[in-house]
Amino acid sequence: MNKPILALCLLASTPLYAQSGGTHSGNGSAATPSVVVLPVTAQADDVETRAMKDELDRSMKQLQLPSLERPYYIDYKIVDQQSVIAHATLGSLTSSQQTHTRLLTVTVRVGSYQYDNSNYSGNAFTKLVSLFSSMATGSNTLPLDDNYDELRRKIWIATDTAYKQALQDLSAKKAAEKSKDLSKRTPDFSQEPAHLESDTLPLVDEDLARVEHLVRVSSAVLHKGSSIRNSTAEFEIDNRTEHFVNSEGTSYVRQMPEIYLHLTATLHGKNDENYHDVYSAHARSLDDFPSEAEILASAKQVVAHLEARQKAQPFKHYSGPVLIEGKAADEVFAHNFANNFPVRPRSGLKINTSVLPEFLSVVDNPLLTSCDGQPLFGNYKFDEEGVPAQETLLVDGGIQKTLLNSRQPAHNFPSTGNMRLQGVLPSNVIVSATKSSTNAELRAQMMGVVKTRGLEYGIIVRRLSGLNAIEAVRLYPDGHEEAVRDARIGDVSFKSFREIVAVSKDRTVYSEYSKESGENVAQGFLALLGLSGLAGSANNADLVSYVVPDILFAKLVVDHSAEGNSEKPPIPRP
């Protein structure tokens, strides 16, 4: 990463607010409160940690069935989460609730770091059975009272179940691989040194009535649009505290509150077409969250965007240079390139090969709390396996250098400290450039290609939903723009990214929830059933932040989108 840009990405403080609509920024700065980091000794006597440590000590010394192996590794994590959630549609409250849960996750490994019960494809179903069994017994759900004896009993039961399942998995794995040469295999799990850390922010205190009010008034603004067919507002505050211990000596307490607002609206157009638009905001403190006036203004902007979109010209086929600006550039990069950074059997990225132009580099850095004067939300000091967070250079001068991984050293990639709640995922992805252009220069470069290829116009995409353009324009040689609708970018391949012509000097900071990676089959299945909490996660997504410049692609195909097509409503709107 070039040094001037890196200087704008901060490690020392934790900004607490960002709109996922993206903020196009240059070298601005924002006042940001410091992270509150508590010494581990201050947390050492809490009942949850004490119960886990005592049961861990007992299990490592005494847990063993006759003539069978004892565990070589155990970890426990207790997630204590208090949530305030409200939903509204068309100006009326549809649901609201306050919840408090305390969930336990247990990992037991038998065998050795070289060869254990994990990484066996045949055990996905048995894991699923084990999870449903734990649901039936309630062994993953802990009492909310700080009752040491009851916590110990619950942890003991869950450990016993996990240990017996681990033995079955190891036996099945050995039977399935008995003919394989195991001497050259990659170790199943990496051994890590002990770490004692704590990373906490103040909890968010907000009553349910206030949350209900905000979703009512914001969805009411959406409802005022003349052609708005449906609208929803969702506001959620999660106070999440994690306690983690493992048999290697690692122990941490993490307290990371999260505030999330999501507004959606659907407009029914004159030709029986439906158009969708959204607004989202994230924060870790109410002081840094948008005010009610700002939220209502954003809701009005959603309606304005939809009404302007239905007046735009319908789109036809186009093949040529495309300039993708702002948040749209982040989304294209996140969903079509960065999603391949985690180690997976079929990852499209190959090490030491050219994947981007030589003037672009990419790092993943969970230690960053802000960049370009805007907050990042993928930050953490240690991952879900207790591995300290670290900066990882993924692409250097266009060349892929490594991939993100967990403590499973697949394909000889060591852990990069990127095990998140839902699998191996990026944290804060930062794209930097040694060669960049102003917005005017990018437009001039695109129009130069348009002229060379004898095209009538170029395309600028400013906002996306998937690959459907929420906001796009035709740019003509005389400089005037013409808004279009029903445009969809064709498949964006790896070759497309290698053929990036230029990028902007300014970058857009954008945060989104990244769903589970698909690595954990059992957890993903439970998520589909709405039972992800019983799979060891109190919510079903991880926040990832992206810092990406505007991107000028040499050639993309843009076609008419069927997104707006719909059946005619049976009756007029009252």
Q: Is residue 249 part of a domain?
A: no
pLDDT at res. 407:
94
pLDDT at res. 181:
72
Q: Is residue 308 part of a domain?
A: no
pLDDT at res. 566:
52
pLDDT at res. 562:
67
Task: Kindly give, in sequence order, each residue whose CB lies less than 8 Å from that of residue 481, ignoring residues fewer than 6 positions away.
Answer: 460, 473, 474, 475
Most confident of 119-133, 137-151, 446-460: 446-460
Confidence band, pLDDT 50/70/90 cuts, at residue 2: very low
Q: What is the average pLDDT across 497-526?
A: 75
Q: What is the average pLDDT across 449-466?
A: 94
Type of residue at 515: K
Query: Length of the chain in residues, anyone?
Result: 574
Q: Is residue 394 part of a domain?
A: yes
Confidence band, pLDDT 50/70/90 cuts, at residue 17: very low
Confidence band, pLDDT 50/70/90 cuts, at residue 83: very high
Show which of 165, 199, 233 is a domain's final residue. 199
pLDDT at res. 561:
80
Query: Do residue 323 and residue 193 come from a single domain?
Result: no
Domain that holds residue 529: 318-560
Percent of residues, the chain, with pLDDT higher than 90: 65
Q: What is the average pLDDT across 440-448?
A: 96
Among 1-10, 74-83, 249-258, 539-548, the minimum mean pLDDT is found in 1-10
Q: What is the average pLDDT across 379-405?
A: 95
Among 30-44, 377-391, 477-491, the minimum mean pLDDT is found in 30-44
Q: What is the average pLDDT across 549-570?
A: 78
Going by their DSSP bridges, the two strands 228-246 and 71-89 should be labelled as antiparallel
Task: Kindly give, in sequence order, each residue whose CB lies less than 8 Å from that of residue 429, ignoring residues fewer than 6 positions away.
Answer: 333, 334, 338, 341, 362, 363, 364, 378, 544, 545, 546, 547, 548
pLDDT at res. 413:
87
Helix, coil or strand: residue 516: coil
Going by their DSSP bridges, the two strands 251-255 and 228-246 should be labelled as antiparallel
Show which of 183, 199, 215 is a domain's final residue. 199
Q: Is residue 231 part of a domain?
A: no
Confidence band, pLDDT 50/70/90 cuts, at residue 11: low
pLDDT at res. 119:
81
pLDDT at res. 493:
87
Q: Is 138 left (phi over 0), alpha (psi -120 to 50) or beta?
A: left
pLDDT at res. 514:
85
pLDDT at res. 409:
84
Q: In this model, does residue 569 exceed pLDDT 60?
A: no
* Residue 56 β-bridge partners: none
pLDDT at res. 270:
66
The whole-chain average pLDDT of the chain stands at 84
Q: Is residue 278 part of a domain?
A: no
pLDDT at res. 568:
55
Q: In this model, does residue 239 exceed pLDDT 50?
A: yes
Type of residue at 132: F
Q: In this model, does residue 205 exceed pLDDT 80?
A: yes
The model's pTM is 0.86
pLDDT at res. 506:
96
Alpha-carbon span 249 to 222, nearest angstrom:
52
Percent of residues, the chain, with pLDDT higher than 70: 80
pLDDT at res. 206:
86
- Burial (CB count <10 Å: 0-12, 13-18, 19+), residue 276: middle
Q: In this model, does residue 198 exceed pLDDT 80?
A: yes
Q: Is residue 400 part of a domain?
A: yes
Q: What is the average pLDDT across 97-106?
A: 95
Task: Kindly give, in sequence order, each residue whose CB lies less than 8 Å from that of residue 503, ignoring residues fewer than 6 positions away.
Answer: 359, 360, 431, 433, 436, 437, 442, 549, 550, 551, 552
Alpha-carbon span 457 to 475, nearest angstrom:
6
Q: In this model, does residue 567 exceed pLDDT 90?
A: no
pLDDT at res. 521:
41
Instruction: Give, as one character, the DSSP assignment of residue 35.
Output: P
Q: What is the average pLDDT across 455-477?
A: 94
Q: Report DSSP letters for 257-310, one per residue.
A: -EEEEEEEEEEE-TTSBEEEEEEEEEESSGGGSPPHHHHHHHHHHHHHHHHHHH
pLDDT at res. 130:
52
Q: Is residue 551 part of a domain?
A: yes
Alpha-carbon span 92 to 135, nearest angstrom:
35
pLDDT at res. 224:
77
Q: In this model, does residue 13 exceed pLDDT 50?
A: no
Residue-wise pLDDT tens digits, 169-191: 999 999 988 877 766 778 899 99
Number of structural domains found in the chain: 2
pLDDT at res. 517:
45
Q: Is residue 276 part of a domain?
A: no
Show which of 199, 229, 258 is a domain's final residue. 199
Q: Is 538 left (phi over 0), alpha (psi -120 to 50) or beta?
A: alpha
Q: In this model, does residue 273 exceed pLDDT 80?
A: no
